[in-house]
Amino acid sequence: MPESVARIATDRADRIVKQLASHFGHMVPVVQEGRQVEILFDLGVAVCAAGSRGITVTVQAHRESDVAEVQEIITRHLEAFGQRDDLRVTWSPTVAA
């Protein structure tokens, strides 16, 4: 299954991940456990984890094109929620073991 990951440096990780959960929770299923949020889109899944140094987001989907679409959705929202911090999201594909 295609997957990609982004690591975003911010000192407001908890707040931004909580905003993502709240925002998407009105549209798609969202599972929140502690500092981690799983957003269940029809196209794929985004797992957002708040850490002491920022946010780690992992996207999985059945097709590369769906991974790209979920990445775009998550990127747009992360950068909007982190606008005052000039948040920038850069994705890297993961390598299958």
CATH number where 64 lies = 3.30.310.50
Q: Which domain holds residue 29?
A: 3-84
Whether 93 is covered by a domain: the verdict is no
pLDDT band at 96 (very low <50, low <70, confident <90, very high): low
Of 62, 63, 47, which Cα lies nearest the Cα of 5? 47
Residue 86: its pLDDT value, please? 87
**Residue pLDDT, tens place only, 29-81:** 999 999 999 999 999 999 999 999 999 999 999 999 999 999 999 999 999 99
3-state secondary structure of 81: helix
pLDDT per residue over 68-95, tens digit each? 999 999 999 999 998 888 889 999 987 6
Number of domains composing the chain:
1
Is residue 50 in some structural domain?
Answer: yes
The answer to whether the Cα torsion of 76, 80, 81, 86 is positive or negative is positive
Judge whether 70 and 59 are in contact, CB under 8 Å. yes
Whether 97 maps to a domain, the answer reads: no
Quote the CA–CA distance of 86 and 94 in Å, as a whole number: 25
Instruction: Please state the pTM of the whole predicted model.
Output: 0.91
Of 43, 78, 83, whose CA–CA distance to 57 is shortest? 78
